[in-house]
Structure 1
């Protein structure tokens, strides 16, 4: 496809779409954000009652569970979202595929539990993997009719599902951790979340399923590419957790996984909930590459614009943050947290590519991106992790993330003709904002009262981060203004903000 010109400020043919997408995203992000706050509270409780070795053990078990679940994941929601007219046969076929997936997940994880315990020389993995398998088995049984809300840009139900399941899980996790001080608290919390979530989907989207493959042809092509893509993606995502336990002890591995979980919270709370709204928005613009390009730029710049300030704060204030949240027994994880947070910032602009490829039915681009990442990551990881441990694994992540971003930009140019320079240009405002924010934190960092009491430490962290965030926002919107206020994510934020102000004035 030939290059398209960059979308101009007047290129918004359907202003209501941006509003509906933003509203849907607000519901979805709010739900996931609140759910992640609950997750974070659970993590704080667990870190106080459990040690790094407990986290390392459960992370070893979860690695195999995650890979199997991801490989066998089916993009049923996205397939149904693309269909203009949904029928009972489509819903029943979707349910049947989900049930088949659950049965296969159960069989595969049951077969893997014993070999994994031998591979890592850790007999506790056998019962742990067997129990953790309940979670992905349940997730395969979600009501397919839940997609009807997404098609109407109604993500309020997702908000309730996320918050309710995590709330129940938090109560269970806290109770088990306090009473037993056992790693089983981590496992039971994971299972509880899945059971409550799936049960509630049938409250909001009830259906009486029947088993059929009548509409299988609608799913076949995407499922084939999805299986390959998910396999490659899961290996790439979990490669460090697969390889590192062979070369380091459980304690440093537990510190690494806890730091990784902290870094993943902003991504999971902000980025992942936008997949549904982004898919829905992209799907309405398939016939207009120019408008689709404008939407892609907003997503590509908007996600990192929201997440990178959090990651930068974690990176530059890792020691006091860990001391406040987890206690001094976790301070040796601070260098890991710094390196992981900086590395996680690299890959964020490529986040919307799978959504774009899916709605265009060009999933092979996501598979090819995964293959490219695997080709770069696997040989380097095997060497670096064996020789340099955790730091070697993190360096490998940074190299692979850079390769992914470059490949993604060329893929987007091929898919919709969006020029590389336009993709990079959309990232400039927040990147300049990050530089200013980093300089502000560096200058104010001596104000952090480390080891002077938890509350003084919390206050001092706030006194450093708050002005840094103000500087960040100021630079981002100053750059946007100086460049002519183009129709980018900043434009959408300002437009929504003005709408809120007008409504408040009318009420006043």
Structure 2
């Protein structure tokens, strides 16, 4: 079982992501009603190259420092220096690539947009490396404070600009300001006196190579759909796809992703004990899917209501896209557990191989989907890819810690059954709620409450319990036989 310290750390990170996403959704709610899908499509296209460059030049300073048994000021200096160099390279490459990129998509507005948007990753790379002291101690309240301050500043500026008639520049301001304000906040929370140094470069080099390679391929996986669609569909269609795609990752980004950082730290303390690692991985994966499965399936079943409530008129076509895309990202919760395991075991090369395999599937399948059925074909291709990748994640869990497929499936089957029962109940309820002509928010709340009740009741009947106390937390199965 994981310690209560890890639970508290996860709690702060989940709270941070939840409140951060809440601010993002609130900002999106306002911007979607004042701007158009074409505005979002344009900024999405400008961001595609920035995101890829951000990944190509990624230097995982935090992850590298986290895996060290000890560190000193020279490690922080080297990490900050690498971040500074990274920022300069991102700025230079963006400026050089902006004109040919804009010419390829036949839209000169992309040039200034890309130049300004590049400030976001530059700012993130200049955050205080001193924050690692809190992260290593599993104290994430400081991270929470920095991120929320950044989100609030970004929200305030974006809303001000859109009311001043800035149009799509309000979206750009929201993206950049969040990164700049968060980075500045880290220097107030964890004061650090910058110094240029490469004294500890060797402690970053090996880890950085594999981890950065995985980041690059992962970014290509995430952005390939948008890059392709940007060339073959109009800006409003791209905008609807991008917003639906961003909404679909809410379960993994807001709930699962933050919880994995303290889990990774917990893995690191037992990485020389194979039996405990296997047990810890199963528990972490179960927790991840415990939250992701019902949340994702629930969003899929109520996507039309969510889109109507959050985005308003003009966005209706994003609903069917969201209902499928959220299913496509559900296996990502399992990948995040595997990713934490790989980092804790100092096996970033595994992450690289997984990402390469996914990209090898994505390029042909997405292209075929686009050729056969446009944006709908792309969405179905993503669903097929995600199902195939879940098997790959389980395969690598077997190779890393010796967990067979059968044991991994048994670990999750009750969660899957409870989610299936929930899905049937909500699917049967929706037509009746639609006939009543209820307000959108009330219908959504009733559907969500019903789904949650069915899911909880099914788990209770199946013997699955959430135990808290005595410094531990775990999902237990009262009917399970002890492992041999």
Name the TM-score, length of structure 1 as normaliser: 0.89
Give the match for residue 77 of structure 2. 92
> Matched residues in 2 for 1:254 and 1:124: separation?
16
Q: Does 1:80 align with 2:65?
A: yes
Deviates more, 1:59-68 or 1:274-283: 274-283
Aligned length: 474
Q: Does 1:357 align with 2:342?
A: yes
What is the Cα deviation at residue 491 of structure 1?
Answer: 4.3
Distance change (3 Å), C-alpha of 1:224 and 1:462: same
What is the Cα deviation at residue 325 of structure 1?
Answer: 2.0
Give the match for residue 326 of structure 1. 311
Give the match for residue 112 of structure 1. 97
SS in 1 for 2:139: coil
Do the aligned partners of 1:166 and 1:193 also contact (CA within 8 Å) in 2?
yes
Q: 5+ unaligned residues in a row in structure 2: which ranges?
A: 475-484
Counterparts of 1:57-76 in structure 2, within 5 Å, are 57-76=42-61
Give the match for residue 505 of structure 1. none
Give the match for residue 394 of structure 2. 409
> Matched residues in 1 for 2:371 and 2:99: separation?
24
Distance change (3 Å), C-alpha of 1:139 and 1:90: same
Q: Does 1:470 align with 2:453?
A: yes
> Matched residues in 2 for 1:132 and 1:121: separation?
19
What is the Cα deviation at residue 450 of structure 1?
Answer: 7.7
Give the match for residue 430 of structure 2. 445
Name the TM-score, length of structure 2 as normaliser: 0.94
Q: 5+ unaligned residues in a row in structure 1: which ranges?
A: 1-11, 499-508
Indicate which of 365, 368, 381 corresponds to 1:380: 365
What is the Cα deviation at residue 326 of structure 1?
Answer: 1.5
SS in 1 for 2:386: helix
> Matched residues in 1 for 2:153 and 2:96: separation?
30
Indicate which of 125, 134, 137 corresponds to 2:110: 125
Indicate which of 155, 170, 174 corresponds to 1:185: 170
Q: Does 1:197 align with 2:182?
A: yes
> Matched residues in 1 for 2:463 and 2:269: separation?
27
Distance change (3 Å), C-alpha of 1:448 and 1:496: farther
Distance change (3 Å), C-alpha of 1:284 and 1:480: farther
Do the aligned partners of 1:255 and 1:330 also contact (CA within 8 Å) in 2?
yes
Deviates more, 1:143-152 or 1:470-479: 470-479
What is the Cα deviation at residue 253 of structure 1?
Answer: 1.2
Distance change (3 Å), C-alpha of 1:356 and 1:137: same
> Matched residues in 2 for 1:147 and 1:478: separation?
43
Give the match for residue 501 of structure 1. none
> Matched residues in 1 for 2:408 and 2:470: separation?
21
Counterparts of 1:27-426 in structure 2, within 5 Å, are 27-180=12-165, 182-426=167-411
Do the aligned partners of 2:264 and 2:341 also contact (CA within 8 Å) in 1?
yes
Give the match for residue 9 of structure 2. 24
> Matched residues in 2 for 1:371 and 1:167: separation?
37
Do the aligned partners of 2:52 and 2:223 also contact (CA within 8 Å) in 1?
yes
